[in-house]
Structure 1
Amino acid sequence: MPDAYAREERGDASPRRRRRTIAVATLLVLAVATGTAVAVKGGLLSFSESCEDSAVHLTLAASPDIAPAVRAIAGQTLADEVRSDGRCLDVEVVARDSYKVADALASGAEAPGFQVWLPDSDLWLDRAEGLGTGTPISPSDSVASSPVTLAMVPSASKRLGWPEKTYSWAESVGAALRSGKVRLGAADPARSATGLLALTSIGASSAQQGGDSDTRVAETAKVLAERMSDSDAQVLETLARSGSGAEEGNPKRNQAVLISEQAAFTHNAEATGSGRLDLFYPEDGTPLLDYPYTLVDEEKLTLPQSRAALRFMTLLNDRSSQAVFARYGFRPADGGADDAVVTPAGGKSPQPYDTSAAEAPSAKELQEMLGMWTITVQSARLTTVVDASGSMATPVPGSGRSRMDVTKESLIQALTQFTPDDEIGLWEFATTLDGEKDYRKLMPTRRLGDPAQGGSTHREKLSAAFAGLQPVPGGATGLYDTVLASYQEARSTYVKGKFNALVILTDGSNQDENGISRSALAARLKELADPERPVPVIAIAVGPDADREEVAEIARITGGDGYEVSDPAEIQAVIFRAIMTAGQNGRAAQE
């Protein structure tokens, strides 16, 4: 096996890296098992057939930044008549935004139309896998990398002491934003891996400073949101084009942007003088865009396609291809710095451009940051509805605590991620909880920063209400009546300009035979749902007794969805993931 594969077998490999190795190993075993027969029948030992007659055709969807380099390599591969099992490789490379591909694969609504996907970051793999009901993917090795950096026009970088002055992520962004010193732009973290990795790095760096880091990160996100672009290419277009005059003083033009080193390399190749960019490499490490080579719906690939896809991946990692990637401003997959790339991109010593890459954030950290971004950009108005039936007293295996105890703790932790402008309320439900009603309002949906009786805030009162939730002995799950009542109130109290949603947590299915039926509930929700005033239901099924399909079917009527957690401790991450997904769906519908 090539060295790149052998490295993945070390004990410190991450689960995702191990998963990639398994995907590659599957293809290699397949190759060994069928190698002799294919060699004879497929022409591996005889190259008499012409490329036109024998080519194996593949379509590869690549992130727009790396697509030109991969297209160049694919073109040279065909010109050189490079073969797989005696058949030429004909790889068509199409540029596709990674977030669009991830969302399409997660939905599984249509056949993808390509056999290989090359997103710009690992983070899209989790988004593409979604709930596991979409188009399956098989990630493999990275083929290139590029660090995420803070780029500035020369006049701004000199004010911050470039290149001698070095900063952490939190310090660099803080210095740029302090007193409006530098106008800073970024791509939407929900659509840009660069934007999300940078924002997550700022959050981690801020946490190292201590104090109220969540508030600082939320404030930073608010500022970035005001100068946000949809894509990495668009954020570069917001830069001032000259170092003086109207362009430099134009408040609509940015003087600094969060972009990849490769994007700066491409920009500088076309820019001159003061239009070139200088790069700050934060001293606490820069995360990498890592371009994972990924098979799509592998089981449906023919044997020649599978083997050709593996062959092309091997070619992308060979010396000549790596030289092509370098000419386009990419680093090798291990992140190693090369002055031939760094200097044209705008890097210069003593900026720490050759230090080890920052540890990649976990999927949970990314989801929490995306949730924070969504509710920061558009403040949230959430009504939280918690199951208080007797089954919530069931112990969570291995924890020594009940489902309700772990649920409360997760909700209290999630509450810390919301800003004072966010509005949150609390209901509980169980059969005959309040007379004939299955539900009870415990806290109104109000701003977390609003004052409350006793000199506290609504946030503090709500946290105490979460902590006070208790299972109702003998109480059953009165789900349907509760969903209808809470949805009606959320609709009637809708606040324009905020992300309105209803979050329902339940560990069972409906058990109130005297209440509204499922079909009647569905009909009422269809009548109430209004695309102009959306209130998606985010339904979270907790534990093995909950029916995710039931709550998901109900939630989808309103534009929301259902989620399942086996451990209530996962609720916090799922809430932010659901908010991000629902928020993005709402934006897409409006567009």
Structure 2
Amino acid sequence: MSRHRSESQTSLKRPLAILLALAVAAMAIFGITRALGGDADTADPTPSAAPGDDDAQTATADPTSTEDAADETAAPECEEDYAVTVLASPDIEPVITQIADGLACTTVTVEAQPSLEVAALMAGGEAPEAQVWIPSSPAFAAALADAGVSVEVGPVVATSPVVLAAERSVFEESTANLAEEPTWADLVTAELPLVVGDPQQDPATMATLLSAHVGLGDSDAARALTSSLMVKLAQNAVADPLAAVQGGGPIFAPTTASQVVASTGSDHELVGLTPRGGAGLLSYPYVVLPGAAEAPGVAELREALLAPEAAAVFEAGGLAAGDGAATTPDAEAVQALIQEWTTLQPPSRLLAVIDVSGSMDEKAGEASRIQITSQAAERGLGLFPDDSAVGLWVFSTNRGPDDEDFVEVLPVRQLTTDVDGKTQRELLQEASSSMDEDMTTGDTGLHDTILAAYLHMQGDWQDGFVSSIVLLTDGVNDDSTGGLSEDELIAELGDLADPERPVRLILIGMGPDVDSSALERVAQAAGGVAYTAEDPRDIGQVFVQAIAARQG
């Protein structure tokens, strides 16, 4: 029997020990990887009996054996029902749950837990109340060993190919002019909207980047393509690429084939793209946690996952049983990639500025504009990694203590900063989710707010960070208190623009009242970009797209 409990992901505290260990063990960060540059042969996961197998013939020919067979397959009498708790990577959890359900005399509780989160907690001295861990890479267990935590790493129970996944509509539109199995060069030149995570923490990202390096080749032209791709991906990376896709973003993200299978029939059904030569392979080892080596049911569960009859269950979930035909990536290539990534990926300093004028009360379907915006902001701002610094303003007219059109809700602070017992990330989530009709009032003091936000971020500019502003509004400048005209604002932004202290201005318009041309003119004056969602219900997708484009 098995029970499934999905735990929500919390903000990850990344202790130094685990980060150092992951860097050292990076050559296996995504476990056993398909041989890059070629397709690996895989064994038939459901072998049948040989034609000359006498035992097989006897079993089907002897009608008197039915009763005996029934006796053999009947549930055994259990002197005691044992309990085993498993922490499993979310993409393999449903399959582990299904296989464990048939285990005799043992109740298995399978909890979906991100592998890095489990590793970080254990490296920090917390012992989970579990006996077994099935992460998405043996490297996580190796990192624990380097951090002084003793675990028993057993066999790989399954593998899953990495694919570049997007929602079906995005996939169909973006791949319409691509070959059925495009090369990496095809994807780069076609500017496939790919967003990735941190390769030192996300095994699917590591597999994808290594595959891209090999797939693009080593010619001068290939190296130029590789550099272009790496700059774009590193500077627009997000904390959770799959969440960005599922949040409505018009993007692709590296994930496993098992995640694509799991999305079938959901509101965010995914389709996976596999470039020629593949995008790597993740492997899932059976790890016994400290003190559980002799625990009843642990060995039995391992044998059930490795049994031949489990292969079909793994296959139905988008995985392959066992370790497959795979190889370990080149350690020097991994180290070079990590060094390149670290150089290219400066952390972000971002100020989110949200319109809370009276018109944000208007309905768009069953929800108000401010409710839709609240949900989009909470989801989009949650994509930033922990080393980012994010703040929040709201604006309309007469909001500030001196009648400014804007007011600071949260200053720009690193997301891990502790503020009276809560992190900046937690405060940001609370502030984003609490935006509602009770705070919408006044007109749209757009121009003065844009200038004030730009001056603030330029004055607060820090070397080594990417500074940007994401401002969302549902109207045109309608400042009843006076303020700057469009021409005056554009002139001010042009004078302030400083290549030594760059600030990326991203403007988002929502609803039918937005003047998209005016937003584009203002954004371009500061070297930025503007987006428009005529239907406010599309703002979630546009907001995620804008977040991903904060580096241009």
Q: TM-score, normalised by structure 2?
A: 0.45
Q: Which is bigger in relative contact order (C-alpha 8 A, separation at least 6)?
A: 2
TM-score normalized by structure 1? Answer: 0.42
